[in-house]
Amino acid sequence: MDDTLYSTRLEEGLVGGLLVAITLAMHGFGMLLTLRTSNALKERFQRHQSFALGMGIIILASWMIIVVHLVEVGVWARCFYWIDAVNSSKNTTSLCYYFALMDYTTLGSNYNLKLHWRLLEGMIAIAGLLTFAWSTGVLLTLAQEFQDQQMALLKQRREKRHAQGSGAQANPPAEPKNP
């Protein structure tokens, strides 16, 4: 097909709009699950507020976010495979996943979609930008809570040390009296 004869088709817009909606719905579910899991772990280990435990929760949340993104990419890849959209003589699920991941992250790839599906290249990038922004907000929320907790613990330790130090100075040991 000649590039000059191409015009956006309604089918492209509908498929792309549906995929963006599915992606955002999946992402919303995934982010809520991530926050619920993180909060449940914080409540469970509330008495053991340590740096390592707090970092472990953030790392687990990061892994959960990555898995959510990879599953979302899988939906796009499955669609690309199903509609035979990737412009390659060897259209495999692996190639479709690679293409979807590269465009979802806005890196781009050596492959393109067939001319009559090109609108989806921009739409997957839009979906990726929206979901990465959402994920960033979730991760920043968890990181801010962790930092606030660690700073409060540090403040408590300093106040405790200060109270112990000033208490010792306020009540110096009594000197023995000479008879």
The pLDDT, as a whole number, for residue 49 is: 77
Using pLDDT thresholds of 50, 70 and 90, give the confidence band for residue 109: confident
Q: What is the pTM for the complete model shown? A: 0.82
Higher pLDDT, 4 or 56: 56
What pLDDT score was predicted for residue 3? Answer: 62
> How is 108-166 classified by DSSP, letter by letter?
--S--B-GGGTHHHHHHHHHHHHHHHHHHHHHHHHHHHHHHHHHHHHHHHHHHHHHHHH
Local confidence band at 1 (pLDDT 50, 70, 90 cut-offs): low
Domain ranges, ordered by start, for the chain = 10-168
d(C-alpha 65, C-alpha 163), whole Å: 43
pLDDT in tens, 60-108: 999 999 999 999 999 999 999 999 999 998 889 999 999 999 999 999 8
Instruction: Give the SS3 label for residue 86.
Output: strand
Q: Out of 12-21, 23-32, 44-53, which region has the weakest mean confidence (pLDDT)?
A: 44-53
